[in-house]
């Protein structure tokens, strides 16, 4: 297991927050650098920053390339938990419970606490 993989595994409970923050930062950097390259390509004061903008844009795209798929996966798991907690029918709840528990095991943190509280309060 590599350094990044072991660090990522230690971040259980924070992974959704980390990926959403990385996506937000990536979108901001990509938009601002793209705007800089499109709006100020020939302005004398900003010509020296075009190279830096290109590099930052490439870095932002790489961040987004890594962060977006993981964010979508983790957000889907969070939505599975939320949807399962909104089910009122006991039979429907029992069908979806295993998926929700698997999502809780992956996400951990706040989702795990909310799920435990939901079960203790008497799920359908």
Q: Give me the pLDDT at residue 1, please.
A: 66
For residue 53 the two structure tokens come to: 């903008």
What crossing angle do the helices spanning 90-107 and 50-85 adopt, rounded to 10°? Answer: 140
Region of 87 on the Ramachandran plot (φ > 0 left; ψ -120 to 50 alpha; else beta): beta
What residue has token string 């698997």?
A: 102
Q: Give me the pLDDT at residue 26, please.
A: 96
Q: Give me the pLDDT at residue 58, please.
A: 96
d(CA 39, CA 76): 37
Per-residue pLDDT of the chain (124 residues), as tens digits, is: 689 889 988 998 999 999 999 999 999 999 999 988 888 777 777 778 888 889 999 999 999 999 999 999 999 999 999 999 999 989 999 999 999 999 999 999 899 999 999 988 877 7
């Amino acid at each position: 297991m590599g350094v990044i993989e072991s660090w990522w595994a230690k971040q259980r409970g924070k992974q959704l927050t980390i990926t959403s923050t990385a996506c937000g930062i990536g979108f901001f950097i990509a938009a601002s650098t793209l705007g800089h390259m499109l709006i100020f390509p020939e302005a004398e004061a900003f010509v020296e920053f075009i190279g830096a903008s290109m590099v930052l844009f490439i870095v932002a795209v790489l961040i987004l390339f890594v962060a977006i798929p993981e964010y979508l996966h983790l957000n889907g798991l969070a939505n599975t938990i939320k949807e399962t907690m909104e089910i009122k029918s006991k039979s429907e709840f029992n069908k979806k419970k295993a998926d929700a528990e698997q999502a809780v095991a992956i996400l951990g943190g706040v989702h795990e606490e909310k799920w435990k509280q939901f079960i203790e309060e008497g799920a359908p």
